[in-house]
Amino acid sequence: MSSDDTAAGGQDPQGHVPDLMDRLVSLCKQRGFVFQSSEIYGGLGSVYDYGPLGVELKRNLREAWWREMVTSREDVEGLETGILMNPEVWVASGHVAGFTDPLVECRNCHRRFREDHLSEEQPDAERGQWQCPVCGVTGEFTEPRQFNLMFRTFMGPVEDEGSVAYLRPETAQGTYVNFRNVQESARQKIPFGVAQTGRSFRNEITPGNFIFRTREFEQMELQYFVEPGTDDEWLATWRERRMEWLVGLGIREERLRLHRHGPDELAHYAKEAWDIQYRFPFGWQEFEGIHNRTDFDLASHQEHSGKKLEYFDHQTQERYIPYVIETAIGLDRLFLVVLADAYAEEEVEGDTRTVLRLKPSLAPITAAIFPLVKKDGMPEIAHAIADDLRGRFAVFHDESGSIGRRYRRQDEAGTPFCITVDGQTTEDDTVTVRDRDTLEQVRVPISGLAEHLTTAMAGE
- Please list every residue from 330 through 349 that binds ligand ATP, using CB under 6 A: 330, 332-333
- Choosing from 166, 217, 234, 311, the residue that interacts with ligand ATP (CB under 6 A) is 217
Give whichever of 214 and 425 is closer to ligand ATP, judged by the CB atom.
214
Taking 3-state DSSP, the helix, strand and coil percentages for the chain, each rounded to the nearest 5, stand at 35, 30, 35
Give whichever of 294 and 430 is closer to ligand ATP, judged by the CB atom.
294
Give whichever of 324 and 328 is closer to ligand ATP, judged by the CB atom.
328
277 binds ligand ATP (CB under 6 A): no
Q: How far is the CB of 454 from ligand ATP (least distance, A)?
A: 33
Q: How far is the CB of 66 from ligand ATP (least distance, A)?
A: 17
Q: Round to whole Å and give the CA distance between 240 and 235.
A: 9
Contact region for ligand ATP (CB under 6 A) — 67-75, 128-136, 249-257, 326-334?
326-334
Give whichever of 66 and 393 is closer to ligand ATP, judged by the CB atom.
66
- Choosing from 183, 196, 209, 214, the residue that interacts with ligand ATP (CB under 6 A) is 214
Give whichever of 290 and 453 is closer to ligand ATP, judged by the CB atom.
290
Give whichever of 219 and 302 is closer to ligand ATP, judged by the CB atom.
219
Task: Give the count of residues interacting with ligand ATP (CB under 6 A).
Answer: 16
Give whichever of 221 and 398 is closer to ligand ATP, judged by the CB atom.
221
x/- mask, ligand ATP, residues 174-203, rule CB under 6 A, reads ----------------------------x-
Could you tell me if 8 and 345 are in contact, meaning their C-beta atoms sit under 8 angstroms apart?
yes
3-state secondary structure of 435: strand
Q: Round to whole Å and give the CA distance between 287 and 148.
A: 22
Phi, psi dihedral angles at 163 (to 5 degrees): -115, 15
204 binds ligand ATP (CB under 6 A): yes
Long-range contacts of 212-215 (CB under 8 A, 24+ apart): 212/280, 212/282, 212/285, 212/332, 212/333, 212/336, 213/46, 214/46, 214/47, 214/48, 214/332, 215/45, 215/46, 215/47, 215/151
3-state secondary structure of 6: coil
313 binds ligand ATP (CB under 6 A): no
| Beta-carbon contacts of residue 158 (< 8 Å; ≥ 6 apart) | none
Q: How far is the CB of 428 from ligand ATP (least distance, A)?
A: 51
Would you call the peptide bond into 191 cis, given omega within 30 degrees of 0 as the criterion?
A: yes
Residues paired with residue 318 on neighbouring β-strands, in sequence order: 313
CA quadruple 31, 36, 39, 42: dihedral, nearest 10: -140
Say if strands 112-114 and 76-78 run parallel, antiparallel, or are unpaired. Answer: unpaired
Q: How far is the CB of 339 from ligand ATP (least distance, A)?
A: 14
Tell me which residues touch ligand ATP (CB under 6 A).
Answer: 170, 202, 204, 213-214, 217, 219, 286-289, 328-330, 332-333
